[in-house]
Every structure is written in C-alpha cells, then in structure tokens.
C-alpha cells in the first residue's frame, strides 16, 4: 500500500502523466469537426409557369455569359 | 545554338497572335471555361444539378469538393440576385428558372436531382423536371 502511494507521488510519474495529457490535447487540436447536415431543397417557392416563361430567356443568357460557374 | 534562338524568336509573334485570339474569345467553348476540378467532379458524378438552381453533393464530399461547390453556389447566388433585381423577380424564382435550364443541359452520364429529390443520371432522353419548367 505504502509503496504504491509513493510511486504515484513520484514527480517523474506526474511528468509522464502531464506529457500524456498534452499529447491527447494536441491530438484534439488537429481534428476538424465538419458538420454534415442533410441537403434540403425547398421547391415550395412561389413561382408560376408564366414567371418561368418570362424569365427563361434571361436565365439562358446568364448561363451563357457566366459559363464558368454553370 | 544561333539558329535555335532565331527559330524560337521567329515563333514568338505566332504564339502571341494565338494568345491574343484566345483572349478575344475567338473560339469560346462552354465546357472549356469550367475549373478542371469542377468539370472532373461533374463527370465523376460527385456533384449534380438541383431543381433550385444550385449544385448539390451526390456523394459525401471531400473537403476540396465541398469548398468547390460552396464557392460556385455563392457565385451563382450572386448572379441570381443581380438578375432577379434586373428582371423584377425573387432570387428563388430566377434560380429556379435557371435550374430548369441547367438540368435540361446536363450531358448523358451527369447527375441531376428530380423534383422529388432523387439523384438521377442523365440519359439520352429528356430529364425529369418540375412541371413548371418549359
């Protein structure tokens, strides 16, 4: 009993324990938590076909003029 | 040594002419202007077109693809916002109308999302689109 207590109190053991905690801490720093939310599409937008009809030509123009993002 | 230098210098005007023609957009092709990583992700079926006018992830993305899609979608939203303002519509309406077109022009093999949110592969025929699309 006495012997175990003495070992725990030994400053060298504390150093090893502290080093272990630091390593664990460093490991935690590298981790990057990336939220992986499900993708939701909301198609309940207020749009009637006549609006689509009116905007269609302009939409085609936009796609042609900005082809690098489409 | 001398002749090689001369040959190289005689080629220079030709190269500059070609570069100038490229800058003027003599032969622009739609696909050629895409970022190669984006083009590759499209062809690999990792990303696809959604009915809402934005790109979506078909498969769990790598950080690179996630960043790439986010960047393009931010630019798309910016473009939709400006076009919507110029045409008296909401951003969503303009984005949706563009989405109809973007799904229509997917190439066979590319991915797109159906109105009921399933990821489909574009075949030779017409894609499944919202009934409001033209």
Question: Domains in chain B: how many in total?
Answer: 1
pLDDT at B92: 96
At B33 the pLDDT is: 87
Q: What is the largest CA-CA distance in chain A?
A: 89
Q: pLDDT tens, A3-26?
A: 544 444 555 656 655 655 555 555
C-alpha distance from residue B4 to each of A40, A62, B8, B13, B106 (Å): 61, 48, 6, 16, 48
Closest CB from A41, A52, A66 relative to B97: A52
Of the two residues A5 and B117, the one the predictor is more confident about is B117
* Residue-level pLDDT at B108: 97
CA A66 to chain centroid, in Å, comes to 29
Specify if B94 maps to a domain.
Answer: yes
CA distance A23 to chain B (A): 26
Q: Is the pLDDT of residue B2 over 80?
A: no
Cβ of B100 within 8 Å of Cβ of A49? The answer is no
Torsion of CA B51, B57, B63, B64, to 10 degrees: -70
Interface of A with B in 18-57 (CB under 8 A): 34, 36, 39, 41-43, 45-49, 51-56
Reported confidence tier of residue B39, pLDDT bands at 50, 70, 90:
very high
User: For residue range A22-67, what is the model confidence (pLDDT) as tens digits?
Assistant: 555 555 566 666 656 555 566 677 788 899 999 999 999 999 999 9
What are φ and ψ of residue B117, in 5° steps? 70, 20
Q: Does A68 have pLDDT greater than 90?
A: yes
pLDDT class of B6 with cuts at 50, 70, 90: very low
Burial code (b: 16+ CB inside 10 Å, e: under 16) for A4-24 equals: eeeeeeeeeeeeeeeeeeeee
Residue B96, domain extent: 34-121
Evaluate whether residue B25 is within a structural domain: no
């Amino acid at each position: 009993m006495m012997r175990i207590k003495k070992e725990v109190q030994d400053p060298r053991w504390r150093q090893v324990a502290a080093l272990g905690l630091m390593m664990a801490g460093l490991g935690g720093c590298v981790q990057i938590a990336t939220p992986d939310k499900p993708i939701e599409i909301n198609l309940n937008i207020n749009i009637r076909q006549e609006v689509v009809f009116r905007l269609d030509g302009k939409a085609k123009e936009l796609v042609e003029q900005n082809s690098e993002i489409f | 040594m001398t002749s090689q230098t001369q040959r190289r210098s005689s080629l220079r005007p030709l190269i500059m002419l070609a570069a100038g023609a490229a800058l003027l957009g003599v032969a622009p092709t739609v696909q050629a202007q895409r970022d190669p990583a984006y083009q590759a992700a499209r062809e690999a079926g990792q990303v696809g077109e959604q009915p809402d006018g934005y790109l979506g992830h078909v498969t769990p993305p790598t950080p690179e693809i996630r960043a790439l899609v986010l960047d393009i979608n931010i630019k798309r939203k910016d473009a939709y916002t400006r076009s919507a303002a110029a045409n008296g519509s909401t951003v969503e309406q303009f984005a949706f109308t563009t989405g109809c077109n973007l799904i229509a022009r997917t190439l066979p093999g590319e991915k797109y999302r159906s109105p009921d949110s399933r990821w489909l592969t574009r075949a030779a025929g017409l894609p499944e689109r919202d009934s409001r699309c033209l």
